[in-house]
Chains A and B, each alone.
Chain A
Amino acid sequence: MSSAADDRRAWTDCRSVVVALHDEILRLQNQIGLLPVSLASAQEWFALLTQKLIPQLGGSAFLVVAVAGGTNTGKSSVFNQLVGSRASAASPLAAGTRQPVCLVPGSMADPQLLQGIFPELELRPWDAAEDALSEAAADQLYWRKCEQLPDGLLLLDTPDIDSDARMNWARADVIRRAADVLIAVLTQQKYNDAVVLEFFQRAAAEGRFILPVFNQVLLPEDEPYWPVWLQTFCDRTGGSPQVAFLAPADRRAAESLQLPFHRREITAGTDGGVENSGTVAGETLDDVSAADSDATATELSTRAHAGAKSLRDYLCQLPAGELRFRSLQGSVVALVNQETGIPAWLRQVEAAAGQLQRITGGESESGLIRLDRWPSVPVASVIDVLREWWRERQPAWAQAINRFYGVAGDVLLQPFRKRNRVGHAEALDDALTRYRDQEWLLILQTVELTQDKLQQLALAGSGKLQDRISSLLAGDAVEQLIRRLQLDHRECDLQRELQAVVNSTMQKMERDRPQVFAVLGRVNQVSAAVRPVTSAVMFSLGFGPAGDLLAPLAGQAVMHTAVDVLGGTAAAIAGEAAVTTAAESGAGVLQNWFCQLQAEFSLRRAAWLVERLQQSFLGDLPEQTRVAAGVVQSVEFRAVAEQLDQLRTLLPRFAVTPIDGQERSDSEEDRR
């Protein structure tokens, strides 16, 4: 047997682990709002953490005893008998007690101390018995000092656990978790009610000591029945009490606080059934017949008092330390239970995250955009911008020549253009407009894809995620989104975008392949030098104006040819051997480079779309989804698992403390 100091240290260790676990769980919970996992705070084990373990581990020693049971079974009556005064109003109407009442021994009459024990209840000093009937929406606890109570014993009356006033159940649950001993007030009508049994079964599983008190018993008719009732109760809740008390159905005695409680020892029979030990039963029967006889009022009073006293005495001589230990241990065991505790919850989180991961496929929202389907920017526009770019870098003479030919060409081409009603600039604009339309179509298709994806996501997400997604996918929202995107898209200056891309690409080229760049630059200058020649030749061949008109359509080919030809000419003129070495083939490199430029532009546009989608549609949803899907790898998840492991390693240190043999085997089963 370990020493008390060892125990104390073990509990302190346990407390620090439990507190850390609680904090880590809260942190983890912040991350998984989008997963379809019920909140940790809605779980029984979490309530045990906050309502039992954290407030009571390692604190001063005390025993919490609560009276619990179905509505109108006489909980408040039993409570009042125990206390010996009318502390909680007993009402003939059901579900009367709405707020718990707590009687505190003199040594513990400190609101702060009590608040520490019941952190989630609103503490109020007791005024009158009717306090317990308060219909306030808040969860309150009325407390009162009671000098008769032995040191370290808190006695509580609780609301019912089976009426249609469901908030009563929740309040009773809070008290159940905080309690070490539950006085189960049972009647022949309610001892087998499923809801009542469920309550006590849970309490027993969490290591609470359950003391059955049969109220409103008809004596002596019910004497043969109560062992059967108790057997059913024990079978279905899993408790194994050694003593039960019977309180007769005597309204007058109850009202005058003189209700006797007959103690019955329970001995396990050979067949495992409950047997009433004969001697005690015999005594009580005498007792009852004496009470029924015409004894004097004082005699009756002392007898009855002796009856209520029997229950009180029994409570006082309970091994407080051991019961307290058992309830704490039971709570820890419930916490690490594989089926209902934290491990089960973590498994749920893991499964949900995995599901979400499968749906998102680790994809970001940019993964939804099919870059290969992005329309390529019209060649003519690119060439136009390129020309512009070069023009600014040409020496003054070349600029002058090109400008002259530009003007001359325009003048010459005027009649042709007029006839075809297509100007060069107009053709370019038209090309860009067409491109813009194509791009808009792709944007719409992307939005559609995104929506499909979101719908899949909603199936794997929590209610919160589903709500968010369905609000994103509402018809009005989609209409707004399209309108906003369209506006943004229309306002977007494609020409400038293109210029930016050309600028950066050219600069990159200048940096990475200076030789090719130099050649091209020279070619460009040379093109100005040879312009008169080529123009004259082409014009005389009839290609001039027609060729110019063709340019927007077949620009790429023309450009290639032109560069090839001019490159060749330039090489010849400049005697530049580097051209062939630096640019393996003028046209091939150029083509590659041109494609790269187009790709660059598409990328830039796609990035624009992603940004718009994020800003006006998805918000931080993708980010949050990613976080939720990857939560298993997160620091928080691992931290919770670690603390849980630590708690598990602490458990055996408590198991060595001797407790009732049967109980230990029970708790070991739980652990497994």
Chain B
Amino acid sequence: MTIGHERTQLALLRELDELLLQIQQWQQVDMTWQPAALLRRNVAAVTERVRTLRVRLDAPLVVATFGGTGTGKSSLVNALLGEEVSHSGRERPTTRQPVLLVHQDLDLQGTGLDLADVQVSRLDAPLLRDILLVDCPDPDTSGQADPGSNLAMLRRILPHCDVLLYVSTQQKYRSDRISEELLQAAGGCRLIFVQTHADLDTDIREDWQRHLSERFEAPRIFLVDSRQALLDQREGRPVVAGFAELQEFLRQQLGSTRRLAIRRASLTDLLDQVFAEGQRSYDEGLPRVQRLRQAMQELQEQLRAEMSSTLTRELLQNRGLWERRLAAAVVDRWGLSPFSALLRLSSGLGGLLTSLSLLRARSSVQMALIGAAQGARWLKGLREEQAEGESISRLSSLGIPDHLLQEASLKISRYRAEAGLPVEQEQQPALMRLREQLVRMEDSFLGDVGQEVERQISRLAERMTSPARRWLADLVFLLYPLFVIVRMGHNFFWETCLAPLLGRSSVAAPLLTVEFYIPAVFFLLVWCGLGLFIFAAGLRRRLQSAIQDLADRLAEGQLAEGLFPQLEQQCEQVQRDAQRLQSLQASVAGFRRHLSDSELPLGALRTDQ
């Protein structure tokens, strides 16, 4: 064994270990999705075979004969070894137990073969230096694989084989039973095709190759006359041409330097096969999962729209609350000024009303408007109260009725069943769960709305309390009080005192009486009222557009968490798993790419189908 060979072997081992590790990691992700679970089981079975292959990566190849009864498997083995080692005969079936032919110096322990039911012969044939030869029983004399039947024995030995010598004749090359069996066995094996009985039969290799090419790579078929070859060897003659070709081919292709290439090809085939199969079922299942996601999305959209419209309606209905909130915010920002004092006074009264209305708040929207802290407490209380009464169907105060939830659960359960996602064990009926989820959803929704309301109010308040506006308002508001004060001062200082003193007036005018003060106070109140009214009108106008704005924005917004969080998570997982499967396949393909530099002239099961 050369150093170069050893190096390739080490590199191959490393690469293989990496691949296996990657597969193992992928397997460990627990998936409930049916195609994924199925693929994991299949891959587990294959990786076990891959592991045994890895152990004997550089052990001699195990070559087994395969073919119908009477096609001359044992005769071929005898001819290959140059002596009668496996009994060949005219009665069917002749070989009823696998015969393992090994070199006399070989240690069988290292091969990892299961030797139950196998008859072992040791001899000193040149061919056996490189390979282990198994003469197998036939697959076509038994109807079923009953224990002890030839078929059962064959199936037990085949997974240990690296190369199958597929032996057939003019009579049997299109046998249905044997073709089926070969399809099962050929995964992970290289194939060598041999037509025997060259002395009696017509050469049908062309037709055979044509039929084989549908499912197999069959680059070459040998035509041999085993009996003649054995005779020739015994009598020391050179063997006939066809047989000599086969001998030479075996010597060249199954030698120790080819082992790695052959095993590597088998490994890749095995993995390729199982992953390709899995990919097909994934491709079939993924659109359904996609449809489920889409349905969930649609439902969420629908529920959202429902919630938004309810919210908008209620926002518009509870304008009074808005106004008070806004007024309070404006007053807070205004600072100290005459008009702000007036506003404060009126909003103080309003606050009283607000706290009164708090007691009467019946909907969460109102609560959102009233304020977060108080609202949360109220909401919690309300829910506790409602949870106690089981019959309450409208737990959700945003008015998502049960029938919408029922509809949602109906649709989703169907899509889920179609997608192949199992229904998890539920303690409570679907409707109850949905309701709870909805409440959670609503919390986050209301949280968003509450923040939005806060923002809107502070934005409006900001605009309402710009310095210019404040000065103007104060100024205009103060006009009347100033007028009254001026009027009073004029009367007190000038008319009753200074004017007569300075002789400007003949008589001192009398002091203003109640007749003046009553209308003055009255008009003061009217003035205040007018001021408040005008201010409130502006407030209201702005509010109207703010509410509209808010409602529009809500209708566009997104909810953070859906109605079916677990299911969505599962879908997400499936998507990720599909991606990982693709990357695994890419790794296997990479593994195969290294193979192409040492193309094998051996037959195999086609992997492109």
Are A and B part of the same complex? Answer: yes
Residues 144-176 of chain A, each 1 if its beta carbon lies under 8 Å from chain B, else 0: 000000000000000000111110000000000
Whether A444 contacts B403 by the Cβ 8 Å rule is yes
Q: With a CB–CB cut-off of 8 A, which chain B residues contact A440?
A: 403
Cα-based distance from A195 to B142 in the complex (angstroms): 9
User: In whole angstroms, what is the CA distance A40 to B211 when docked?
Assistant: 35
Given A190-B70, A195-B140: A225 and B90 interface contact (C-beta under 8 Å): yes
CB distance from B208 to the nearest CB of A (A): 9
Interface residues on chain A, number (Cβ under 8 Å): 47
Q: Cβ of B608 < 8 Å from any Cβ of A?
A: no
Chain A positions 545 through 584: 1 when the CB is less than 8 Å from some CB of chain B, otherwise 0: 0000000000000000000000000000000000000000
Is residue A93 within 8 Å, beta carbon to beta carbon, of the partner chain?
Answer: yes
- Is residue A641 contacting chain B, with contact meaning CB distance below 8 A? no
Closest Cβ–Cβ distance, residue B584 to chain A (whole Å): 30
B37 at the A/B interface (Cβ < 8 Å)? no
Is B402 among interface residues, defined by CB-CB distance under 8 A? yes
Task: Please determine whether A232 and B92 come into contact, CB atoms closer than 8 angstroms.
Answer: yes
A residues less than 8 Å from B69 (CB atoms): 189, 192-193
Complex contact A194–B418 (CB within 8 A):
no
Name which of A66-74, A273-281, A329-337, A617-625 contacts chain B.
A66-74
Are A92 and B403 in contact (CB-based, < 8 A)?
Answer: no
In whole Å, how far is B171's beta carbon from the nearest beta carbon of chain A?
Answer: 4
Measured as residues with beta carbon below 8 angstroms from the partner, the interface class of chain B is 35 or more
Interface residue? A109 (CB, 8 A): no
Known: A162-B175, A189-B70. A194 touches B142 (CB 8 A): yes
Q: Mark B39-78, 1 if CB is under 8 A from A, else 0.
A: 0000000000000000000000000000011110000000
A229–B94 Cα distance when bound, in Å, is 12
**Chain A CB within 8 A of B120 CB:** no
Say if the beta carbon of B291 comes within 8 Å of chain A.
yes
Closest 10 CB pairs of A and B: A189-B70, A475-B415, A192-B92, A94-B174, A92-B202, A441-B403, A444-B406, A194-B143, A475-B414, A163-B174
Can you list 10 A-B pairs with a CB-CB distance of less than 8 A?
Answer: A162-B176, A163-B174, A164-B175, A187-B171, A189-B71, A192-B92, A222-B90, A437-B401, A475-B415, A478-B414
Q: Which residues of chain B from 517 to 551 have a CB within 8 Å of any chain A CB? A: none
Checking B179, B291, B401, B410 against A478 with a beta-carbon cut-off of 8 angstroms, the contacting residue is B410
CB contact list, A437-469 vs B, under 8 A: 437, 440-441, 444-445, 447-448, 451
Given contacts A92-B204, A475-B414, A478-B414, contact A194 B140 (CB under 8 A): yes
Interface residues of B in 473-517 (CB under 8 A from A): none
Q: How far is the CB of B346 from chain A (nearest CB, A)?
A: 25
Is the Cβ of B411 less than 8 Å from the Cβ of A70?
no
Which residues of chain A in 209-268 are interfacial with respect to chain B, using CB atoms and an 8 Å cutoff? 216, 221-222, 225, 228-229, 232, 249
Asked if A473 is at the interface (CB within 8 A of a chain B CB), the reply is yes
Alpha-carbon gap, A222 to B70, bound state (A)? 14
A232 to B, closest residue via Cβ = B92
Do residues B410 and A444 form an inter-chain contact, with CB atoms below 8 A?
A: yes
A396 contacts chain B at the CB level, 8 A cutoff: no
| CB contact list, B170-198 vs A, under 8 A | 170-177, 179
Whether A445 pairs with B406 at a CB distance below 8 angstroms is yes
Decide if B388 is an interface residue (CB 8 Å cutoff): no
Interface string of B379-410 (1 = CB under 8 A from A): 00000000000000000000001110011011
A479 touches B (CB below 8 Å): yes
Instruction: Report Cα–Cα, A249/B410, bound state, in Å.
Output: 72
Is B295 interfacial (CB 8 A cutoff)? yes
Bound form: Cα–Cα A198–B140 in Å? 12
Nearest chain B CB to A27 CB, angstrom units: 36
Number of A-B pairs whose CB atoms are under 8 Å? 125
Residues 197-216 of B contacting A (Cβ, < 8 Å): 200, 202, 204, 207, 211
Closest CB of chain B to A225's CB: distance in Å? Answer: 5
| Minimum Cβ distance to chain B for residue A524 (Å) | 36
In the complex, chain A residues whose CB is within 8 Å of the CB of B172: 72, 189-190
A5: CB under 8 A from chain B?
no
Q: Cβ of B266: which chain A residues have Cβ within 8 Å of it?
A: none
Q: Is the CB of B91 within 8 A of A228?
A: yes
Q: Which residues of B does A touch, CB under 8 Å?
A: 68-71, 90-93, 140-143, 169-177, 179, 200, 202, 204, 207, 211, 291-292, 295, 401-403, 406-407, 409-411, 413-415, 417-418
Residues of A within 8 A of B176 (CB): 162-164, 166, 195
* B residues less than 8 Å from A162 (CB atoms): 175-177
- Please encode chain A, from 469 to 505, with 1 for each CB lying within 8 Å of some chain B CB and 0 for all others: 0000111101100100000000000000000000000
A325 within 8 A of B: no
A71 CA to B207 CA in the complex, in Å?
14
Apart from A189-B92, A193-B68, A229-B92, what 15 extra A-B contacts exist at CB < 8 Å? A71-B171, A94-B171, A94-B173, A94-B204, A164-B176, A189-B68, A189-B69, A189-B71, A194-B140, A232-B92, A437-B403, A448-B410, A473-B417, A475-B418, A478-B414
Q: In this complex, which of B70, B90, B402 has the most chain A Cβ atoms within 10 angstroms of its Cβ? A: B90
Known: A71-B171, A189-B92, A189-B172. A94 touches B207 (CB 8 A): yes
Asked whether any CB of chain B lies closer than 8 Å to the CB of A191, the reply is yes
Contacts of A476 in B (CB 8 A): 291
Complex interface: chain A residues within 8 A of B171 (CB): 70-73, 94, 187, 189-190
A437 to B407, CA, bound (A): 12
Note all chain B residues with C-beta closer than 8 A to A478: 410-411, 414
Is A35 close to B, CB under 8 A?
no
Chain B residues with CB under 8 A of A229: 91-92
Residues of B within 8 A of A448 (CB): 406, 409-410, 413
B551 to chain A, nearest CB (A): 22
Contacts of B402 in A (CB 8 A): 441
* Cβ contact of A193, chosen from B141, B211, B291, B401, cutoff 8 A: B141
Q: Which of A70, A188, A198 contacts B143 (CB 8 A)?
A: A198
* Residue in A93, A189, A192, A447 whose CB lies within 8 Å of B204: A93
In the assembled complex, which residues on chain B have CB atoms less than 8 Å from the CB atom of A222? 90
With known contacts A193-B140, A482-B407, A165–B295 Cβ distance under 8 A: no
Smallest CB-CB separation from A221: which chain B residue? B90
B70 touches A475 (CB 8 A): no
Taking a contact as CB atoms under 8 Å apart, the answer to whether B170 and A482 are in contact is: no
Q: Mark A91-125, 1 if CB is under 8 A from B, else 0.
A: 01111000000000000000000000000000000
